[in-house]
Structure 1
Amino acid sequence: MSKDIQAGDIAADRSDNFDYIVRHFLQGPHFFQSSVVQYLYDWWQGYEPSLPQRKQFDLVEHAAIAPNLFLIKVLGDGRFEYRINGEEVVSLVGVSLKGEMISPDHHDIAMANLARYYQEIVEKKQARACTGNLRPAHMDVLEFETVDCPLVDKNGNITHIVGAIGTN
């Protein structure tokens, strides 16, 4: 599993609750500390060697982990839109990004990095993960992990990225 940290991935450059973020490439089985993150990754990996289609991801079927889920729509040209942010996502991150458009030229360096990260998922058609620390309001520092999984249309084009965040 390779890792990378970029400018904008540490607290001084951020406007949310993240202290720092380390991004990882995933291949094959992976074991997460968070049960919600593991659940989503196991669901996604269950479609190998194919990728699941967006229509195969029904939020109702994942209701138990819905508060920890987020869904990103791929708009093309490196642009993305946050479509769903579960309640726990908002609580941990400190802000709702629902409806937010991000791209590599976003004015917030953290959001620009996130757009580049999502673009790598689109280009490689591979899940990725993040780990690090965050500081939700009025709480101690928490270790977190996420998984970000591409979803395709009937032609095999990545149209969405579904993800989950959990704490250890």
Structure 2
Amino acid sequence: MSDRMAKGKRVLPVGPTELQIEHRLLDDLGLLRSPQTRAMYDWYRDHRDCEEGPVQWAVFDLLDHAPLAENFFLVNTEDPEAVQIVLHGEKVRRLLGNSTWTKDVIREDDALPEKRSLFQYYRVIIRDRRAHYCEIFGRGGYLRNNHFESIDLPMVDEEGKVVRILGVLGVIGENETPA
């Protein structure tokens, strides 16, 4: 995996919709524009054991974040050869559609190039053990040029292994076009 992946762009076709995604390490809190991503990152920052380290998965309780639950997605990363998206909140489903691969096991050699790209992106988060940020423009299909962002937060077990990536999606604007 090249360092270029740590900051980059990709285009994913999702049915009749195209997602243009720019991703990077979340090293500038000024990037966060939606109240959902900001609130979750504030919680994450306040629960880390060290300044840049991940939060323990055992500390997270969905009930403590009920108002944000519709914006969550959750990725199981316990298998070193695969990741599995195990949860999408209702807002995530509405924004990305039902073809968001919930319960799919995604591997490096997946037949779909967009899944291979997603697998590589999640591997970067696991390697870096730090929060990442995505800015996303959705065009076509049901999205009508929506503009949204997500944060991807690595969560570790008691031994410090990244076992989950907790994601939060927030809408920035509607009917916009990418710069």
Counterpart AA for 2:11: I
Query: For the residues of structure 1 that align with 2:159 and 2:16, how far apart are their CA atoms?
Result: 36
Residue aligning to 2:77: 74
Deviation, 1:104, is: 1.6
Q: 1:16 to 1:62 in 2, by over 3 A?
A: farther
8 Å Cα contact 1:17-1:92 kept in structure 2 = no
Residue aligning to 2:3: none
Structure 1 residue runs of 5 or longer lacking an equivalent are: none
Counterpart mapping for 1:17-166 below 5 A: 17-27=17-27, 29-48=29-48, 49=50, 50-95=53-98, 96-135=100-139, 137-166=141-170
TM, length-normalised to structure 1: 0.87
Deviation, 1:19, is: 2.8
Secondary structure of the structure 2 residue equivalent to 1:140: coil
Secondary structure of the structure 2 residue equivalent to 1:76: coil
Structure 2 residue runs of 5 or longer lacking an equivalent are: 1-5, 173-179
Counterpart AA for 1:10: V
Deviation, 1:15, is: 3.5
Query: For the residues of structure 2 that align with 1:36 and 1:153, how far apart are their CA atoms?
Result: 25
- Pairwise CA RMSD: 2.0
Query: For the residues of structure 2 that align with 1:99 and 1:35, how far apart are their CA atoms?
Result: 28
Query: For the residues of structure 1 that align with 2:118 and 2:112, how far apart are their CA atoms?
Result: 10
Query: For the residues of structure 2 that align with 1:37 and 1:16, how far apart are their CA atoms?
Result: 27
**Deviation digits for residues 63-108 of structure 1, max 9, x if unmatched?**
0010010110003334101111101111101124221111221111
> What number of residue pairs does the alignment pair up?
163
Counterpart AA for 1:140: R
8 Å Cα contact 1:31-1:38 kept in structure 2 = no
TM, length-normalised to structure 2: 0.82
8 Å Cα contact 2:17-2:142 kept in structure 1 = no
Query: For the residues of structure 2 that align with 1:27 and 1:135, how far apart are their CA atoms?
Result: 27
Q: 1:158 to 1:94 in 2, by over 3 A?
A: same
**Deviation digits for residues 27-54 of structure 1, max 9, x if unmatched?**
2644411111111111111123142111
